[in-house]
């Protein structure tokens, strides 16, 4: 057998032995009944109530958004047909970039294939621009930022303790005063649901003459008066050099973007491989995202409902004695503390109760902090929550003590 195939066997065995083997549950979204999905398991098809969608505001199934996508497909076809440079830039792409720049109060925006690519391509482009960058990266930054930073090959990388301003300042102070510096961080951290102290980070950036790169993937559409993210909510958007976001979560569609000063984005547009050498987003996707961004900019009702739903679920979990983690955001993590157990609880939820919540295991979270992640949205009713709490009590509290909870 080829060495690589032996390696595959060994690695997969080890992953399975650790209870981390990934099984995808194929869920068919029921657009007119979201958050219900249809699932076929063990020869049986039934409707499942899903608690783990990142379509946080149910925009992906909004009739206006769906219609915008259908209309664009009829008018312009299914795909862009080229990179942005080769026949792939449509007026829709330009309009969406203008809309996103305006959302964040910036000069310009650039669309990417995904949020992942926007982070990887932009961070690597920035950090390869000069030979002596020092980059300060939060310990819990998303993989797409870590990879983008690693791809900035000559940069000196300093990882600061998660949301720890004293540690960040210690590292900033130790770096050469005249070196170009960049602080890379997120606003809402998606696994613990905690929020970075944006103002303090901007103050440190000012003090040490550092640029700032903020991933607002789990905040855009949801935080701030117009959905501009935590940087809008906290009034600091103008102090952030680059705000990065996704169109795939709060906006319910697909694609990623960065916003910032015209000159900076013009540079990224001109050098970032992940922007240049790939087909532009499909027009139906761009049209859907444009409709979604415009709707959420104008209407705060969904945002208010999202936070009401998240707080209600947290309160119900607490009242029922379930091990809910403290979270200052719309994300509701339930601590399980063991990979096999998290997977098993998730499977029992589906099989016995017709509900789905994703188990989050290592390496997404540290070992011993495995959890189920709930993201209730505007369409999750109190009655659905009561049903969920009852199911979790039966699964978790009627069994021997849960490890690490």
Binding site for ligand PMP (CB under 6 A): 114-116, 119, 142, 144, 186, 190, 215, 217-218, 246, 248, 256
How far, in Å, CA of 334 to CA of 337, rounded? 9
Residue number, 246 or 285, with CB nearest to ligand PMP = 246
Other C-beta atoms within 10 Å of 225: how many?
A: 10
Burial of 141 (0-12, 13-18, 19+ CB in 10 A): buried
Where is 335: in which H helix or E strand? Answer: strand 332-335
Which residues, in sequence order, are CB contacts of 111 under 8 Å at separation 6+? Answer: 93, 96, 97, 100, 255, 256, 257, 280, 281, 286
Residue number, 215 or 234, with CB nearest to ligand PMP = 215
- Side-chain-facing half-sphere of 101: CA atoms under 13 Å: 16
Residue number, 215 or 338, with CB nearest to ligand PMP = 215
Torsion angle (degrees, nearest 10) of CA 41, 47, 49, 50? 50
How far, in Å, CA of 54 to CA of 67, rounded? 21
Residue number, 145 or 322, with CB nearest to ligand PMP = 145
* Active-site entry in 181, 249, 314, 316: 249
Q: How far is the CB of 143 from ligand PMP (least distance, A)?
A: 8
Residue number, 111 or 335, with CB nearest to ligand PMP = 111
Q: How far is the CB of 101 from ligand PMP (least distance, A)?
A: 18
Residue number, 190 or 361, with CB nearest to ligand PMP = 190
Spatial strand order in the sheet of 181-186: 108-112, 256-260, 242-246, 210-215, 181-186, 134-138, 156-160
Residue of 202, 127, 216 whose CA lies nearest to 169: 202
Q: How far is the CB of 152 from ligand PMP (least distance, A)?
A: 17
Residue number, 248 or 268, with CB nearest to ligand PMP = 248
Residue of 398, 354, 356 whose CA lies nearest to 374: 356
Residue of 52, 8, 19, 24 whose CA lies nearest to 367: 19
Q: Is 379 a catalytic residue?
A: no
- Share of the chain residues as helix, strand and coil, in percent rounded to the nearest 5: 45, 20, 40
Q: How far is the CB of 403 from ligand PMP (least distance, A)?
A: 26
Q: How far is the CB of 81 from ligand PMP (least distance, A)?
A: 22
Angle ∠(22,28,31) on CA atoms, nearest 5 = 140
How far, in Å, CA of 141 to CA of 313, rounded? 26
Q: How far is the CB of 269 from ligand PMP (least distance, A)?
A: 19
The closest residue (CB) to ligand PMP is 115
Other C-beta atoms within 10 Å of 49: how many?
A: 21
Cβ-contact 356, 30 below 8 angstroms: no
Residue number, 114 or 122, with CB nearest to ligand PMP = 114
The DSSP secondary structure of 368-394, one letter per residue, reads T--EEEE---TT--HHHHHHHHHHHII
Q: How far is the CB of 398 from ligand PMP (least distance, A)?
A: 33
Q: How far is the CB of 112 from ligand PMP (least distance, A)?
A: 9
What is the set of active-site residues? 249
């Amino acid at each position: 057998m080829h060495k690589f195939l032996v390696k595959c066997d060994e690695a997969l065995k080890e992953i399975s032995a650790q209870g981390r083997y990934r099984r995808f549950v194929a869920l068919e979204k029921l657009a007119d009944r979201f958050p219900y999905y249809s699932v076929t398991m063990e020869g049986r098809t039934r409707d499942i109530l899903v608690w783990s969608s990142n379509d946080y505001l149910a925009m992906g199934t909004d009739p206006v958004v769906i219609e915008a996508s259908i209309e664009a497909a009829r008018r312009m076809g299914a795909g862009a047909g080229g990179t942005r440079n080769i026949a792939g830039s449509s007026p829709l792409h330009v309009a969406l970039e203008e809309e996103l720049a305006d959302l964040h109060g910036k000069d310009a925006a650039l669309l990417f294939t995904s949020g992942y690519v926007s982070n990887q391509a932009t961070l690597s482009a920035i950090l390869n621009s000069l030979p002596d960058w020092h980059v300060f990266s939060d310990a819990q930054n998303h993989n797409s930022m870590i990879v983008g930073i690693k791809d900035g090959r000559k940069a000196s990388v300093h990882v600061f303790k998660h949301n720890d301003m004293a540690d960040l300042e210690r590292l900033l102070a130790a770096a050469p005063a005249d070196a170009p510096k960049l602080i890379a961080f997120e606003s809402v951290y998606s696994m613990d649901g905690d929020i970075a102290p944006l103002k303090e980070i901007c103050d440190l950036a000012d003090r040490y003459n550092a640029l700032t790169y903020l991933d607002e993937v789990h905040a855009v559409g949801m935080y701030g008066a117009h959905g501009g993210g935590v940087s809008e909510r906290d009034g600091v958007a103008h102090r952030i050099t680059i705000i990065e976001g996704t169109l795939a979560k709060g906006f319910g569609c697909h694609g990623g973007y960065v916003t910032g000063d015209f000159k900076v984005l013009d540079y990224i547009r001109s050098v970032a491989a992940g922007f240049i050498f790939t087909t532009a987003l499909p027009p139906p996707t761009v049209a859907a995202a444009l409709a979604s961004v415009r709707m959420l900019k104008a209407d705060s009702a969904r945002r208010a409902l999202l936070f009401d739903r998240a707080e209600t679920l947290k309160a119900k979990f607490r009242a029922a004695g379930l091990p809910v983690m403290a979270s200052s955001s719309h994300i509701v993590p339930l601590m399980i503390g063991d990979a096999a157990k998290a997977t098993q609880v998730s499977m029992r939820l589906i099989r016995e109760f017709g509900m789905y919540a994703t188990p989050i295991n290592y390496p997404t979270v540290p070992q011993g902090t495995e959890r189920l992640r709930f993201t209730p949205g505007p369409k999750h009713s109190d009655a659905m929550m009561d049903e969920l709490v009852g199911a979790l009590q039966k699964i978790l509290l009627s069994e021997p003590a849960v490890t690490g909870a």
